[in-house]
Amino acid sequence: MTADFLIIGQGVAGSVLAWILDQRGCSVLLADDPALPSASSVAAGIVNPLTGRKLVQTWKADELFPFLHQFYVDIEQKLGVRFFYPKNIYRPFRSEAEKNDYLAITTTPEILPYVSHGVDNQLYSAYINNPYGGLEVRQAGWLDLNEFVRIIKGYFIRKSQYFEGSVSYNDLIIRDKDILWKDISIGNVIFCDGVQGRENPLFNWLPYNPVKGQILTAVVENYPIKTIVNQGVFILPIRDGLLRVGATYSWHDLDWQTTDDGRSFLESKVQALLKIPYQIVGQHAGIRPSTKDRRPFVGMHPNYPSIGIFGGLGTKGVSLAPYLAEQFARYLLDGEEIEPEANISRYVSLL
């Protein structure tokens, strides 16, 4: 048996890359170990072109956002499913000064396409603390990551191209023209194993900078707001009466355990923002595979050109994965260049 690609890890990175290579006509084996924790199973899945208190445009937003919207919708249409929900993000102003600063920023040519004008602040005022009004960010949305991963898994299972279990570098026999795995001749192996990439001897020289994050799940009655609200924390309506609230950021105590401090922090933020009663019914923690320079890790190993990595997507995996996976596929199949800021060749001196 032969295969063009073995993709190891089926979070958002592995799912997106496997789908793109499959659609290009490649034979793709997708492998995932359900025993390993996954950031994708915890992450909120929000895509946001303007981030931070200063409304900074996401890296390569002009390329990423039109592409990701089309990408996820195309899969939905091909498979007859739903997992992607375009939504504006409402950002209440914290003060009159912030309002003036934001309104000035939103007139600049690079920010203007991402801001909605004529916001109905009264729509929010009964539910959200917004005495100074707010603005809405366009081209944003929410990917139901658990559903997306489940759909992609099912697609490859139906093709008999899915393996459930652990695959490590020790399982791979690297030969001159291929890689042998379980008596299967593989053309290329791509690791998409998130923060576990730090422990892979082939790629442990890459400078990860993992970030722990926690989110809450809450139930609420009579909350008609369909947009995402963001001011210090996000409030994401995932269905009627059910909200996600997040997120925390910690570069210490990097485990997958929830904490009382994390819950207290998020509750203090949401209490200042949400005017109506709510009840916390869940709390989750994950470790984001972020990097030192906040740019992904994409490319093939300098010493083993048939083994690659697609990871380090950090907090913006849902936004970054489609565009960069498409670019990676074109590199692998057509010889096109990888985005220099994402190419792991920038760190080859660390090997």
- What SS3 state is found at 98? helix
pLDDT tens track for 268-288: 999 999 999 999 999 999 999
How many CB atoms lie under 10 A from the CB of residue 205?
14
* Band (118; pLDDT cuts 50, 70, 90): confident
Beta strand pairing call for 242-246 and 233-239 = antiparallel
| Pair 28, 21: CB distance under 8 Å | yes
- Contact of 319 with 65, CB cutoff 8 Å: yes
- Sign of torsion over alpha carbons 79, 82, 84, 88: positive
Single pTM value for the model: 0.96
Closest CA to 344 of 318, 304, 314, 310: 310
Report the distance separating Cα 66 and Cα 58, nearest Å.
Answer: 13
- Is the predicted pLDDT of residue 253 greater than 90, yes or no? no
Domain parsing of the chain, residue ranges: 2-42+145-207+293-350, 211-288
Name the token pair of 113: 């396409």
Q: For the domain 2-42+145-207+293-350, what is the CATH superfamily, name and number?
A: FAD/NAD(P)-binding domain (3.50.50.60)
Q: Which CATH class is domain 211-288?
A: alpha beta
* CB burial of residue 340 (10 Å; 0-12, 13-18, 19+): exposed
Q: What's the confidence (pLDDT) of residue 54? A: 87
Q: How far is CA 344 from CA 39, 81, 205, 302, in A?
A: 21, 35, 10, 9
314-325 pLDDT tens trace:
999 999 999 999
Q: Give me the residues paired with residue 163 across strands.
A: 31
pLDDT tens figures, 8-38: 999 999 999 999 999 999 999 999 999 888 8
31/187 Cα distance (integer angstroms):
15
| Cβ–Cβ under 8 Å, residues 155 and 23 | no
Residue 85 has pLDDT above 90, yes or no: yes
DSSP state of 113: G
Q: What is the pLDDT of residues 125-158, one digit of tens each?
A: 999 999 999 999 999 999 999 999 999 999 999 9
| Maximum alpha-carbon separation in the chain | 66
Beta strands in 220-344 (DSSP E): 228-231, 233-239, 242-246, 279-288, 297-300, 307-311
